[in-house]
Chain A
Amino acid sequence: MEWKTDWGLRGRMMFTMFLLFALYLVFVGVIAAYFGNMLFALIMLGGFSLVQYFFSDKLTLWSMGAHEVSEEEYPQLHDAVTRLSRQADLPKPTVAVTDSRVPNAFATGRNQKNAVVCVTTGIMSTLDQEELEGVLAHELAHIKNRDMMVMTIASFLSTLAFIVVRWGWLFSGGDSRNQAPVWVAIVVSLLVWVISFLLIRALSRYREYTADRGAAMITGKPSALASALMKISGRMDKVPKEDLREEAEMNAFFIIPINRGFIGRIASTHPPTEKRIERLRDLERELETA
């Protein structure tokens, strides 16, 4: 069973990461030049980000109102997660359920041993077993690909830049001789923040494509995820507005984000659903013609 490597996708991802790294170097240079005494604060912020990262599984479950469920409560769900984890060579993650009519799923956790896969009651009633397994495999692929770690590292720069834009003026006191105006550093940080925001969004979309590929190879059935995406995407439009509003904050973690009016493609964390389905269709064709 052979699959062609998607070098185009990998190349674009590497280029995006390279740009983020270059941007980071520029940013560190600016900070060192203008805010010597701010470095300590930035290191503290880095520590805080680490703490948030390490407790990410519990924080996410709590904020989503999800609770862990046992084998006896949801045997079929546990069976599917166990079987797919075995195929993916992953330790079985914790399985959680959120009581919500919005059909959605997410994965969280700082590494493969401390991962959680969560589904909503809405998605379990919307999808059939094969489609649900496509979704679960997508979430397991995120865990396997270490997307939480990759995105946390990538997003750190954006967080730092935002802090400087927001609070940089507080550090402008002190020796003012031979010092360029502090607003120059703030403007540079603003540019860094905007550019890194867009680059991180692009990286997030690429990670979604790789998770879709991973899901297709775990299930051996690209059509399962494609069909699930179509159903979820269609069902989103019918869910009452209140449910959608409550969960919009967690968009980046979802298998399909909730629409909030118009969002430009460059600011979206997920590729368009039709493009994801198109790529899955290519994989299905590859299965039959290999």
Chain B
Amino acid sequence: MGIMDTIRAVFGSSAEHDATREADPEDLFGMSTAYMTMEADLGYPNAGAAALCFSSVDSTDFEDALREVRDILEAGEAETGTTASIRMDQQGYHWVVLEDSDPEDLVTSIHFAADTFIERGYGSRLLAALFAFEKDSRYVYWVYSFRRGAYYPFAPTRGRERDQSAEFKLQSVLDGELGVEDDTAYWYPLWPESPGRHPWQ
């Protein structure tokens, strides 16, 4: 525990400090080379989708911010062909979902969306960015954790279980290229409703 952690423990302000900590979207660009490595070295091509996961806020200004995100992505769609939607899933997560067969456009659009949240003052509500890959009809994800400022692999298999050997392989190959979270206690699951579907579906 560092000195600042101790001071916050004394004040009882750790929860409010970390829950409102700002996000840095520049790490997202690391996915550009990761997409190539995933396909060339590991045989996992782009599944054509990426998503931004966020917490909502009970305020009209946040609703305005969401409208701005939607408007910006719709304007971008005409230019890059990336389709976008905003939705909430069964588990209470809120999503900006992007679909495009070109990984570069996915990375650009998701950075654009994240940056808009941050410019509107809601960077602290960004939870994760998910990048989907597919092999043998199964999805795996690189998840960027905004709160931790690091990536981790997520390979869901049937019934709320994880394919740990697949995750281990992903971590082994891309650690160094991506900043991977060392502490697996922070590799939070984002379960899909059923096998073969994405967490946001």
CB distance B21 to A89 under 8 Å?
yes
B46 in contact (CB, < 8 A): no
Shortest beta-carbon distance, A225 to chain B, in Å? 11
A220: which of B11, B56, B147, B188 is its contact (CB, 8 Å)?
B56
> If the complex has contacts A145-B9, A146-B9, A220-B57, are A88 and B20 also in contact, measured as CB distance less than 8 A?
no
Q: A145 to chain B: which residues have CB within 8 Å?
A: 8-9, 12-15
How far in angstroms is the closest Cβ of chain A from B1? 9
Does chain B have a CB within 8 A of A242?
no
Distance (whole angstroms) from the CB of B196 to the closest CB of chain A:
18
Interface string of A271-290 (1 = CB under 8 A from B): 00000000000001001101
| Assembled-state Cα–Cα distance A79/B199 (Å) | 12
Nearest to B91 among chain A residues (CB) is A79
A143: nearest chain-B partner, CB-CB: B15
Whether the Cβ atoms of A217 and B188 lie closer than 8 Å is no
Closest to A140 in B: B15
**A14 surroundings in chain B (CB, below 8 A):** 10-11
- 8 extra A-B contacts, CB within 8 A, seeds A210-B16, A221-B58: A3-B20, A13-B10, A145-B8, A211-B15, A214-B16, A215-B15, A224-B58, A288-B60
A76 within 8 A of B: yes
**Mask: chain A, 117-136; 1 = CB below 8 Å from B; 0 = not:** 00000000000010001000
Question: Is A85 in the interface zone, CB < 8 Å from B?
Answer: yes
In Å, the complex CA distance between A2 and B8 comes to: 18
Q: Which of A10, A133, A146 contacts B14 (CB 8 A)?
A: A146
**Residue in A closest to B146 when the chains form the complex, CB atoms:** A86
In the complex the two chains form, is A147's CB within 8 Å of B60's CB?
no
Nearest Cβ on chain A to B75's Cβ, whole angstroms? 25
> Are B12 and A207 touching (Cβ within 8 A)?
yes
- Chain B residue at smallest Cβ distance from A82: B188
In the bound complex, residues from chain B placing their C-beta under 8 Å from that of A219 are: 55
Interface size on A, residues (CB 8 A): 53
- Judge whether A75 and B20 touch: CB under 8 Å: no
Cβ of B128 under 8 Å from chain A: yes
A150 at the binding interface (Cβ < 8 Å): yes
* A217 in contact with B15 (CB, 8 Å): yes
Task: Identify B147's interface contact among A87, A141, A287, CB under 8 A.
Answer: A87
Using C-beta atoms within 8 Å of the partner chain, give the interface range for chain B: 35 or more
A144 to B15, CA, bound (A): 5
Closest 9 CB pairs of A and B: A214-B15, A210-B12, A91-B185, A141-B15, A220-B57, A79-B91, A144-B15, A221-B58, A89-B18
Instruction: Verify A91–B186 contact, CB threshold 8 A.
Output: yes
Instruction: Give the residue among B19, B21, B148 with the most A Cβ atoms within 10 A.
Output: B19
Closest to B59 in A: A287
The listed residue with most B CB atoms (<10 A of its CB), out of A10, A146, A211, A220, is A220
Determine how close the nearest CB of chain B comes to the CB of A128; give it in whole angstroms: 12
Which residues of A are found within 8 Å of B160, using beta-carbon distances? 71-72, 75
A220 touches B125 (CB 8 A): yes
Q: A82-B188, A218-B15 are in contact. Are A89 and B93 (CB under 8 A)?
A: no
Is A257 an interface residue when CB atoms closer than 8 A count as contact? no
B124 at the interface (CB under 8 A from A): yes
In the complex, are the beta carbons of A10 and B11 less than 8 A apart?
Answer: yes
